[in-house]
Amino acid sequence: MSYFLTYSAEDAEYILKPAGYLAVLLLLAAVFFGFQFFSKSHDKTSSQKTRQMVYCGGAMALSLVTSFIKFASLPYGGSITLFSMMFICLIGYVYGLKTGIMTGVAYGILQFIMGPYIYAPVQVLLDYPLAFGALGLSGLFSNKKHGLVIGYITGVLGRYAFHVISGYVFFASYTPEGTNALLYTLGYNATYIIPELILTVIILYMPPVWKAIGQVKRQAVNEV
């Protein structure tokens, strides 16, 4: 384990070594390309599969870029970004549950690479691949009326749930004295998750945005 990680007693966290970063990068590649390779999409042509991979990769890139554009940041992690969660949810809406979740998992690993915080192995699992993978739950509503909005809300609340579990289990010590740990982590994570959720839903209901997303979906599934 020490070959990949080193423990910082000052910060009370583990820090990735170069070999650790390489291992995570390989994991990211395995998740993303392995999913595409082993996907049981026998009805799709190679060009359709390539298009899907390009759209998934593009969504991850847009999410990453917009995640760095922050309107507010909290001291112990979490920030209100420029609609960064929307792009992963869009993949679920366009391509369905499985592709949405796997793209979210891959994006969570990418987020971990960009800013790893390692307190415990299960905490990493909850805060990165599971939390961001939950954004792909938008795929549950890919064929429903107002499916993107309903799916976006579902995916974001799924991410919120994983962060709350992580906060309650692993970071209860940061709770102010005299405050219930569960209520504190519920409130803390809501302060950045909920404002971005509300702002994004408002944007999604704007007619030009709604029409543009419809056009993107038709192009993505080769219906034009």
In order along its 224 residues, the chain shows pLDDT tens digits of 566 667 665 555 667 667 766 777 777 777 767 666 655 555 566 777 788 888 999 999 999 999 999 999 888 888 999 999 999 999 999 999 999 999 999 999 999 988 888 888 899 999 999 999 999 999 999 888 889 999 999 999 999 999 999 999 998 888 999 999 999 999 999 999 999 999 999 999 999 998 999 898 888 887 54
pLDDT value at position 125? 92
pLDDT value at position 34? 67
Q: In the CATH scheme, what is the code of domain 5-220?
A: 1.10.1760.20
Q: What is the pTM of this model?
A: 0.87
Question: What are the CA-CA distances from residue 35 to residues 41, 93, 102, 132, 134 (Å)?
Answer: 11, 18, 7, 16, 16
pLDDT value at position 39? 57
pLDDT value at position 205? 92
Q: What values do phi and psi take at 146, rounded to 5?
A: 55, 30
d(CA 31, CA 25) in angstroms, rounded, equals: 10
Helix (H/G/I), strand (E/B), else coil: 10: coil
pLDDT value at position 5? 66
% helix / strand / coil in the chain, to the nearest 5?
Answer: 70, 5, 20
Query: Which residues have C-beta within 8 Å of that of residue 163, sequence separation ≥ 6?
Result: 78, 126, 127, 131, 185, 189, 193
Query: And the tokens for 78?
Result: 């979490």
pLDDT value at position 185? 96
